[in-house]
Amino acid sequence: MEILNITSTQNDLVKYCTKLQNSKFRKKEKVILLDGEKTIQGLIDDNFEFEYVFLKEDNILKNKIKSKNIVFVNDAILKKISTTNSKSPLIGIIKEPLVDKKIFKTMDRIALIDGIKDAGNLGTIIRSAAAFSFDGIILFNDCVDLYSTKVIRSSTQNMFKLPIYTTKDINFIKELKKTHTLISTVVDSKKNFINYDFNKKFILALGSEANGLSKEILDLSDEKLSFMINKNVESLNLAICASIAFALIDFNIFKK
């Protein structure tokens, strides 16, 4: 472990942290900027190794962190590299997790989220998937940056507790269909979601209320199911719909 002291907001490492707030640069570097004491505390408890952790020297967590570099900084620097308007007492950098797509073949319950753009919604979906025992998540097509600070914050650290794989490759989904049933949620099916038997291996596909699922996924679907909601309501928010679906599936499987 290397211990560094930085006092200038013009330091190159500080500038690097601010550049990581740009999604394109972050993806190029293949690292994640983590902002907030709660987020970092959760990863400390899970024994994650950080590349860098930035904190004040009097922070009591300094002796509990597993990091290649501990960087002692002042309030001005914490405010500079924080992703929120309020200064965060802890900011960290970790390597982007490597997810082997082959592991999805072994899973029983997979959620596929198609073209999600809202970071808060994605974080909530991840949190709900972890809460209701889904094994993994596939982000299909153009989606919001999985490792944006808003997604991480909304997921309350749960995004690091299950594999999440981002892809535009429809052949990957076709390959998974050899072992899993592809079930799509739509608004116009006569089949009620709540009556379906989810005991077999499956991929549950959900699209946004604005655009729904892509034609690629719909054309591959083995089943299309709908939530029979009040006709006076046009649609459900994607995160709410996903959370309800995950809970119903978990309850039904547990009940059986």
pLDDT of residue 187: 87
Coil, strand, or helix at residue 17? helix
How are strands ordered across the β-sheet holding 136-140? 164-167, 136-140, 109-114, 202-207, 181-185, 223-225
Please report the pLDDT score of residue 165 as a whole number.
98
Question: Is 233's pLDDT higher than 80?
Answer: no
- CA separation, residue 32 to residues 28, 38, 103, 146, 172 (Å): 11, 16, 22, 10, 26
What is the set of domains in the chain, with CATH numbers?
2-95 (3.30.1330.30), 101-255 (3.40.1280.10)
Strand partners, 182: 203
Q: Is 203 helix (H, G, I), strand (E, B) or coil?
A: strand
pLDDT at residue number 163: 97
Instruction: Answer yes or no: is pLDDT of 106 > 80.
Output: yes
| Rounded Cα–Cα distance for residues 85 and 79 (Å) | 8
CA 63 to chain centre: 28
Is pTM beyond 0.75 here?
yes
Mean pLDDT rounded to a whole number for the chain:
92
Residue position matching structure tokens 């960290």? 92
**Poorest-confidence range of 24-28, 35-39, 180-184?**
35-39
What dihedral do alpha carbons 195, 196, 198, 204 form, nearest 10°? -120
